[in-house]
Structure 1
Amino acid sequence: MNIDTPAGFWIRLVALFVDGIIVSITIGLFTATIYGQFFLEEYTFLEVIGPIYYVLLPVLWYGYTLGKRAMGIRISRVDGGKVGVGTMLLREIVGNLIYGLTIGIAIIVSIFMVVFREDKRAIHDLIANTYVTYSEPEELRYKEN
């Protein structure tokens, strides 16, 4: 396993909070432009924008989302490779499906895993063979030097 400098619970929570604000504002602006209301009660674009943001942005941006980048953390594969669409689909879609099917119990288990495990990996990390790290991707380290 190639896990170095894993990110803990609080930094990940703050990054998730920042991402949630960004996605909510984006959805609100989108619906305000189209429907004249910041949020619609009967339907939001969360079902479309959320998966695009949480799956595609890390694939295109070395494992970063805007919230993770702001906190200086990113998603990485355990083997050190770049996260791909398949990895992110496993991490986000399958992981969230498990959290939903267990009525949130798996979320609580994941919190304890991130707090107490040495590698700080949650259930969705184990499913996708990922972890969250402070380390920069090698591609960016070489560009800076």
Structure 2
Amino acid sequence: MFCPHCGKPNPDDAQYCQICGRELSNAATQATAQAQQSINIAPVQYAGFWRRVLASLIDGILLSLVTGSFTWVVDFGDFKVSYGLGVVVQWLYYALLESSNYQATLGKMAIGIVVTDEQYRRITFGRATGRFFGKFLSAVILGIGFMMAGFTQKKQALHDVLAGTLVVQK
């Protein structure tokens, strides 16, 4: 079944589009599916390396402002506590937003990209959590895990491959 609003494929039993979040109606969806069978459907566009870098830069600036302001106001007295709190804030930011109906962090929203599973559906909080912590592995190997997004067929970084996720243009 195809969404009549954005044209992206969705499971036949879906009530809402997994990409744009709008309601799917059977009549409109069937009409759209029939119409799109008679024309060439544009393939899904995977978000390239530089779009992802720009989204990460925006997210990094926002998170730095929030966590930096908070730790400046509240003195935890211990670097480990501040660092741990920063990791928790980042985890919740990424996992909650990427598993929400938005399917994107604020940086990704600004760039026009979303995170999906391999069937282009919204990801679960658990999958978003795995994706977030997989980024540590991508970083530990000298950033090569992140650079993979520039070279793989579906533009997946290592943490995307591990979590079974895709980053696509909205």
- Is the structural similarity TM-score above 0.5? yes
Higher relative contact order (CA 8 A, sep 6+): 1
Q: Does 1:104 align with 2:141?
A: yes
Separation in 1, partners of 2:168, 2:138: 22
Consecutive unaligned residues of structure 1, counting only runs of 5 or more, are 136-145
Aligned residue pairs total 126
Identical residues among aligned pairs (%): 31
Structure 2 counterparts to residues 50-69 of structure 1, below 5 A = 50-69=90-109
Alignment of 1:24-103 (within 5 A): 24-35=64-75, 42=79, 43-44=82-83, 45-93=85-133, 95-99=134-138, 103=140
The TM-score normalised by the length of structure 2 is 0.65
1:33, distance to aligned residue in structure 2 (A): 3.0
Query: Which residue is 1:122 aligned to?
Result: 157
TM-score between the two structures when normalised by the length of structure 1:
0.76
Deviation at 1:78, TM superposition (A): 1.1
How large is the Cα RMSD of the aligned pairs?
Answer: 2.3
Letter in 2 for 1:89: T
Match of residue 143 from structure 1: none
Structure 2's unaligned 5+ residue stretches are 1-8, 10-42
Cα distance in 2 for residues equivalent to 1:24 and 1:125: 24
- Matched residue SS, 2:62: helix
2:136 and 2:151 map into 1 onto residues whose CA distance is 23
Kindly indicate whether the alpha-carbon contact (under 8 Å) linking 1:62 and 1:83 is maintained by their aligned counterparts in 2. Answer: no
Residue deviations 1:66-110 (CA, integer Å, cap 9, x gap): 0000111111111122111111111111x134235xx324x3144
Q: Is the CA contact (8 Å cut-off) linking 1:4 and 1:133 kept in structure 2? A: yes
Aligned to 2:28: none
Query: Which of 1 and 2 has greater Rg?
Result: 2
Do the aligned partners of residues 109 and 82 (structure 1) sit closer, same or farther apart at CA in structure 2, a change above 3 Å counting? closer
Quick one: distance in 1 between partners of 2:101 and 2:63?
Answer: 17
